[in-house]
Homo-oligomer: A and B are copies of this chain.
């Protein structure tokens, strides 16, 4: 549903710990929900390791294609935090210690604790704006169309709240769900495709889930126009009611 006027975004999740399975990512869902609420279309996500070359390659591919690129992870004080280095390299600017970031950190710690490792967290690409947050002393930063955030989900949420007023917003996509229950996808798929062809102003998705040995299906209608969404939902509800009356929910294989 991306149109020429769409505000689009990509998310780059940075961290060996996601790829090794050690940490189960939650930031994709957090960023997806945040963007959906502002009418910004999340079109692509990538997960890469804590590796400067891999981060630069992904940033270069994504920032050319989207209004915004959000990143999570790799901006702490330890040696494996290389995101700031990679963003500076991608933009071809020096990585510099930012006195505003130092000042923010000194609001939380005394100068005797401002060691070299913590000063690493004040390094930002030259020209970047800082992103404060209520959870941690160390800021994220924003350069060009790239918004660089921490990896800890609570800090991601705080940084998203901090940048929200400065983001362009688009028309929100309206999403409505039709609960199908255990009628199998295969029983309604053909006629649902026909409804999708009749309602081209919306996108229609069918999503099975599986729990305790049983499938359940939901049909989701998404679109920008409330009337078009409503019409498609009504047509699908009528379709499902018709199929149910015809006994199409009497077997459970999808």
* Interface pick from A87-95, A111-119, A161-169, A225-233: A111-119
Q: Are B79 and A204 in contact (CB under 8 A)?
A: yes
Mask for A57-75, Cβ within 8 A of B = 1, else 0?
Answer: 0000000000000000000
Task: Give the chain B neighbours of A21 by CB distance below 8 A.
Answer: 29, 32-33, 35-36, 42
* Interface membership of A186, Cβ < 8 A: yes
A:192-241 near B, CB below 8 Å: 192-193, 196, 203-210, 220, 222
Could you tell me the dominant secondary structure of chain A's interface residues?
mixed
Measured in the bound complex, the distance between the Cα atoms of B17 and A175 in whole Å is 11
Task: Give the chain B neighbours of A121 by CB distance below 8 A.
Answer: 186
* Interface membership of A56, Cβ < 8 A: no
* Interface membership of A159, Cβ < 8 A: no
Write the nearest CB–CB distance from A60 to chain B, whole angstroms. 13
The count of residues in chain A whose C-beta lies closer than 8 Å to any C-beta of chain B is 75
Q: Are B186 and A115 in contact (CB under 8 A)?
A: yes
Task: Give the chain B neighbours of A83 by CB distance below 8 A.
Answer: none
* Interface membership of A103, Cβ < 8 A: no
Which residues of chain A have a CB within 8 Å of any CB of chain B?
13, 16-26, 28-29, 32-33, 35-36, 41-50, 54, 76-80, 108-109, 113, 115-118, 120-121, 135-138, 152-155, 173, 175, 185-190, 192-193, 196, 203-210, 220, 222, 251, 253-254
Beta-carbon nearest neighbor of A34 in chain B: B21
Measured in the bound complex, the distance between the Cα atoms of B179 and A193 in whole Å is 53
Given contacts A20-B175, A47-B45, contact A251 B113 (CB under 8 A): yes
Given contacts A25-B28, A77-B185, A108-B253, contact A173 B48 (CB under 8 A): no
Q: Are A109 and B253 in contact (CB under 8 A)?
A: yes
Task: Give the chain B neighbours of A50 by CB distance below 8 A.
Answer: 205
Task: Give the chain B neighbours of A190 by CB distance below 8 A.
Answer: 115-117
Beta-carbon nearest neighbor of A136 in chain B: B254
Q: Are B43 and A19 in contact (CB under 8 A)?
A: yes
